[in-house]
């Protein structure tokens, strides 16, 4: 380590949700010390570019992108033009701060390390989630912020007899509940307390969300009406342990303004929350990061942490880093940072990567914070079963492409006795028609794909069939009034449903170090991943739930089988062999889990390393189990709790 290290009180690696929240909390709380009351000196290292002075640069990238995958607005650039003029994926070996992206998850390239940043050559099935590396972290999130249900914190106690890989959290719902309150205020969550009181979720006395709920869409109302009255026989397959005679569609808690909040505009219904809200009605961590830097925290961008250093007392003594000029590298310098407290907030893949890279000349041969050999293990996501359909002709339209991407969901299936044998799931209803489900190909996404189909006589979306258009033979080519009326009829009846399934922990699903490197000559993450029979049976039940919903809507199912999808698998459902698949939810969890026992976990309930008392590892990587709720609210609540612990650290000194 150089003698001229950056000196500070708290060094934070990563400026996403957890890193920004901790930086803001610490920056606004003066500390009483032996030398008087003062503010903490906080430095944040960010691997990617910093906060843009003009948000329109990201919007411009998004608008100009031919294929609008979730990562398209944000650097580094995904593609380049080769010598023959063909657009190809940039080799991640050329990128200083690479990232996984949706363009490299196809059957042809998910194991191609010349295209895919994650080395999945040894993986049984693809890990399909992606993330960004820039100030603010994964900005292409949807904004959904449901709470975990109480039983999610005690899965071993409730269901561990049948599922031995489950662990209990070292905290319970009542412990985290007040931090949920604080996180919902910080992110600006729109929801209704009464509506969210299900599966034993409770709230502080007199609590109200910061803003009223986002109203349900027309599609939500159609589906809600269809599922309001059911018979116990129709829903018996769910295994809820009690008769289910109807479902309530509940508005999804969202970090999205239903009214002006903290100088941010109310949602205008642009329907592209993923990847970017053009008016910034959706929260993103640059808001909190800017508040932290306004309070005196310093952000050092394009700075990649390369090794965590540990001294003879088993304390972290510094972090080495590499700097670079632009996204294609090469490195422009190196340095180090020394602090009293270190916080690694680099997400569920980049954090274990950094820990495992940190060998300290053999002193930590297994990596830093890894005496348990649990760093990188138990990689989890919410494997998603996605289905799409068309409401019947002459029915009331769903009117998609209005409002946020998701406004309502069925959350009541998040818990029940069935969890002893199969995964729970959350059912969400999309407002973007078939935009997501037919997107990603050469013709973009709907409604563009369907429009081109009818103009050019193609059938990429599957809608150009005679039974829907009586004007011509199959694969009609239409113009004028016939084109307008056909598109108006068909597109207004599109809908999408997604089932985000629970994944049980598996120590063989893990992040290790690849022999392939990035432009800074650092090893890229190597992934080993599969889904268990427990999760597969959750997807099987989701298929049955889909059939129930489609039947009540009298809708036609356009969901396509996997046909070569590397995530595909076959299951027998009601006596028939079915081709199924899953997608990624963008929820990277579990790789440095929390627990009370240092032999089986990496951090304690405050997200402090068991091995190094001045090191905190934060984010959804600390989750021992995942439930069915999107992880962002919970990781934010945990970050606020960790900030309280760090304040106590300084008050004790």
pLDDT tens, residue by residue, 286-341: 999 999 999 999 999 999 999 999 999 999 999 999 999 999 888 999 999 999 99
pLDDT of 374 above 90:
yes
Query: Can you tell me the distance from the alpha carbon of 124 to that of 122, in angstroms, rounded to the nearest whole number?
Result: 7
Confidence band of 85 (pLDDT split at 50, 70, 90):
confident
Query: Can you tell me the distance from the alpha carbon of 181 to that of 205, in angstroms, rounded to the nearest whole number?
Result: 11
pLDDT of 442 above 80:
no
pLDDT, tens only, 545-560: 999 999 999 999 999 8
pLDDT of 472 above 60:
no
CA angle, corner 501, sides to 460 and 109, nearest 5? 45
Query: Can you tell me the distance from the alpha carbon of 364 to that of 609, in angstroms, rounded to the nearest whole number?
Result: 14
Chain centroid offset of residue 504 CA: 17
pLDDT, tens only, 574-619: 999 999 999 999 999 999 999 999 999 999 999 999 999 999 999 9
pLDDT, tens only, 37-47: 889 999 999 99
Stretch among 154-158, 211-215, 459-463, 520-524 having the lowest mean pLDDT:
459-463
**Which phi and psi angles does 387 have, rounded to 5°?**
-135, 155
Closest to 222 measured CA to CA, from 398, 433, 447, 431? 398
User: To which residue do tokens 């597969």 refer?
Assistant: 536
Three-state DSSP state, 211: strand
Q: How many CA atoms lie within 13 A of 387 on its CB side?
A: 24
| Partners of 527 in the β-ladder | 511
Mean pLDDT of 156-185: 97
Give 472's contacts (C-beta < 8 A, 6+ positions apart). Answer: 466, 478
Give me the chain's average pLDDT, please: 94
Stretch among 30-39, 154-163, 330-339 having the lowest mean pLDDT:
30-39
pLDDT of 155 above 70:
yes
Closest to 81 measured CA to CA, from 69, 68, 66? 66
Confidence band of 469 (pLDDT split at 50, 70, 90):
very low
Query: Can you tell me the distance from the alpha carbon of 42 to that of 23, in angstroms, rounded to the nearest whole number?
Result: 7
Closest to 591 measured CA to CA, from 544, 632, 623? 623
pLDDT, tens only, 72-83: 999 999 888 888
Q: What is the pLDDT of residue 138?
A: 85
Residue 518: both structure tokens together: 């990035």
Please report the DSSP string for 106-149 in residue order.
STTTTT-TTT-SSB-TT-SS--------STTS-TT---B-PPPP
3-state helix, strand, coil in the chain (%, to 5): 25, 20, 55
User: To which residue do tokens 């399934």 refer?
Assistant: 501
- Pairing verdict, β 303-310 and 79-81: unpaired
pLDDT, tens only, 198-226: 999 999 999 999 999 999 999 999 999 99
pLDDT, tens only, 480-504: 999 999 999 999 999 999 999 999 9
Contact of 341 with 334, CB cutoff 8 Å: no
Confidence band of 470 (pLDDT split at 50, 70, 90):
very low
Contact of 588 with 348, CB cutoff 8 Å: yes
Contact of 245 with 97, CB cutoff 8 Å: no
Contact of 390 with 464, CB cutoff 8 Å: no
Query: Can you tell me the distance from the alpha carbon of 463 to that of 467, in angstroms, rounded to the nearest whole number?
Result: 9
Query: Can you tell me the distance from the alpha carbon of 248 to that of 289, in angstroms, rounded to the nearest whole number?
Result: 37
Give 410's contacts (C-beta < 8 A, 6+ positions apart). Answer: 227, 247, 248, 249, 250, 426, 427
* CA distances for 617 relative to 314, 315, 384, 591, 612, angstroms: 16, 14, 27, 11, 11
Burial profile 227-260: b = 16 or more Cβ within 10 angstroms, e = fewer: beebeeeebeebebeeebeebebbbbbbbbbbee
Q: What is the pLDDT of residue 45?
A: 98
Closest to 527 measured CA to CA, from 631, 378, 406? 378
Q: With pLDDT > 70 as the criterion, what percentage of the chain qualifies?
A: 97
Query: Can you tell me the distance from the alpha carbon of 6 to that of 235, in angstroms, rounded to the nearest whole number?
Result: 61
pLDDT, tens only, 386-405: 999 999 998 899 999 999 99
Query: Can you tell me the distance from the alpha carbon of 586 to that of 105, in angstroms, rounded to the nearest whole number?
Result: 13
Q: Provide the sign of the torsion angle of the four alpha carbons 393, 385, 428, 433, taken in this order.
A: negative
Q: What is the pLDDT of residue 102?
A: 92
Q: Which residues of 414-558 form beta strands (DSSP E)?
A: 425-430, 494-501, 510-517, 523-528, 556-557
Query: Can you tell me the distance from the alpha carbon of 363 to that of 310, in angstroms, rounded to the nearest whole number?
Result: 8
Burial profile 466-500: b = 16 or more Cβ within 10 angstroms, e = fewer: eebbeeeeeebbbeeeebeebbeebbbbbbbbbbb
Q: What is the pLDDT of residue 653?
A: 64
Give 189: exposed, middle or buried? Use CB within 10 Å, 0-12, 13-18, 19+.
buried
298-300: strand order across its sheet:
298-300, 42-45, 10-13, 341-344, 615-617
Query: Can you tell me the distance from the alpha carbon of 177 to that of 497, in angstroms, rounded to the nearest whole number?
Result: 30
Q: What is the pLDDT of residue 477?
A: 86
Query: Can you tell me the distance from the alpha carbon of 95 to that of 521, in angstroms, rounded to the nearest whole number?
Result: 10
Contact of 587 with 129, CB cutoff 8 Å: yes
Query: Can you tell me the distance from the alpha carbon of 395 to that of 553, in angstroms, rounded to the nearest whole number?
Result: 10
Contact of 409 with 416, CB cutoff 8 Å: no
Give 160: exposed, middle or buried? Use CB within 10 Å, 0-12, 13-18, 19+.
middle
Other CB atoms closer than 10 Å to residue 548's CB: what's the count? Answer: 18
Closest to 407 measured CA to CA, from 191, 553, 247? 191
Q: What is the pLDDT of residue 20?
A: 98
């Amino acid at each position: 380590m150089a003698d001229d290290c950056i000196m500070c009180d708290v060094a934070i690696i990563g400026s996403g949700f957890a890193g920004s929240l901790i930086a803001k909390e610490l920056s606004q709380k003066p500390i009483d010390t032996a030398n008087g009351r003062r503010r903490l000196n906080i430095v944040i290292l960010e691997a990617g570019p910093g906060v843009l002075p003009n948000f329109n640069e990201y919007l411009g990238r998004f608008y100009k992108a031919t294929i609008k995958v979730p990562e398209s607005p944000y650097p580094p650039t995904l593609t380049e033009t080769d010598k023959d003029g063909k657009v190809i994926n940039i080799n991640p070996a050329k990128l200083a701060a690479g990232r996984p992206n949706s363009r490299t998850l196809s059957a042809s390239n998910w194991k191609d390390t010349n295209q895919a940043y994650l080395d999945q050559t040894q993986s049984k099935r693809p890990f399909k989630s992606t993330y960004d590396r820039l100030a603010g972290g994964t900005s292409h999130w949807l904004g959904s912020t449901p709470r975990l249900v109480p039983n999610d914190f005690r899965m071993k106690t409730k269901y561990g007899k049948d599922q031995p890989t489950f662990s209990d959290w070292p905290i319970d719902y009542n412990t985290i509940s007040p931090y949920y309150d604080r996180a919902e205020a910080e992110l600006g969550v729109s929801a209704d307390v009464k509506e969210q009181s299900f599966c034993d979720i409770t709230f502080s006395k007199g609590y109200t969300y910061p803003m009223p709920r986002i109203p349900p869409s027309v599609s939500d109302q159609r589906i809600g009406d269809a599922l309001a009255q059911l018979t116990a026989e129709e829903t018996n397959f769910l295994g809820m342990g009690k008769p289910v005679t109807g479902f309530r569609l509940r508005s999804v808690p969202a970090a999205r303004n239903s009214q002006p909040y903290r100088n941010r505009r109310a949602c205008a219904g642009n329907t592209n929350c993923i990847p970017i809200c053009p008016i910034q009605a959706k929260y993103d961590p640059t808001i909190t990061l800017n508040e932290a830097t306004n309070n005196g925290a310093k952000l050092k961008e394009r700075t990649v942490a390369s090794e965590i250093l540990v001294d003879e007392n088993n304390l972290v003594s510094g972090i080495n880093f590499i700097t670079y000029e632009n996204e294609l590298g090469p490195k422009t310098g190196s340095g180090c940072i020394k602090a009293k407290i270190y916080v690694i907030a680099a997400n569920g893949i980049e954090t274990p990567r950094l820990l495992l890279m940190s060998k300290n000349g053999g002193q930590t041969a297994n990596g830093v914070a890894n005496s348990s050999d649990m760093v990188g293990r138990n990689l989890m996501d919410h494997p998603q079963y996605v289905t799409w359909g068309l409401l019947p002709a002459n029915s009331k339209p769903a009117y998609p492409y209005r409002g946020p991407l998701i406004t309502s969901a069925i959350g009541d299936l998040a818990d029940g006795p069935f969890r002893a044998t199969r995964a729970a799931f959350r059912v969400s209803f999309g407002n973007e028609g078939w935009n997501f489900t037919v997107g990603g190909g050469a013709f973009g996404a709907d409604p563009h794909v369907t429009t081109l189909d009818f103009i050019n006589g193609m059938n990429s979306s599957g809608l150009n069939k005679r039974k829907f258009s009586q004007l011509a033979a199959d694969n009609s080519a239409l113009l004028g009034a016939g084109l307008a009326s056909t598109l108006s009829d068909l597109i207004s009846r599109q809908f999408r449903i997604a089932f985000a399934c629970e994944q049980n922990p598996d120590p063989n699903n893990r992040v290790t170090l690849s022999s392939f490197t990035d432009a800074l000559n650092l090893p890229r993450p190597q992934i080993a991943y599969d889904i268990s029979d427990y999760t597969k049976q959750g997807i099987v039940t989701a298929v049955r739930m889909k059939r129930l919903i489609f039947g009540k809507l009298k809708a036609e199912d356009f969901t396509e089988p996997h046909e070569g999808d590397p995530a595909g698998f076959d299951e027998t459902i009601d006596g028939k062999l079915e081709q199924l698949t899953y997608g990624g939810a963008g929820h990277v969890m579990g790789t440095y889990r929390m627990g009370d026992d240092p032999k089986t976990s990496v951090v304690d309930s405050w997200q402090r390393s068991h091995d190094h008392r001045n090191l905190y590892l934060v984010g959804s990587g600390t989750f021992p189990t995942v439930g069915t709720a999107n992880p962002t609210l919970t990781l934010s609540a945990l970050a606020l709790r960790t900030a309280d612990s760090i304040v106590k650290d300084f008050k004790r000194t």
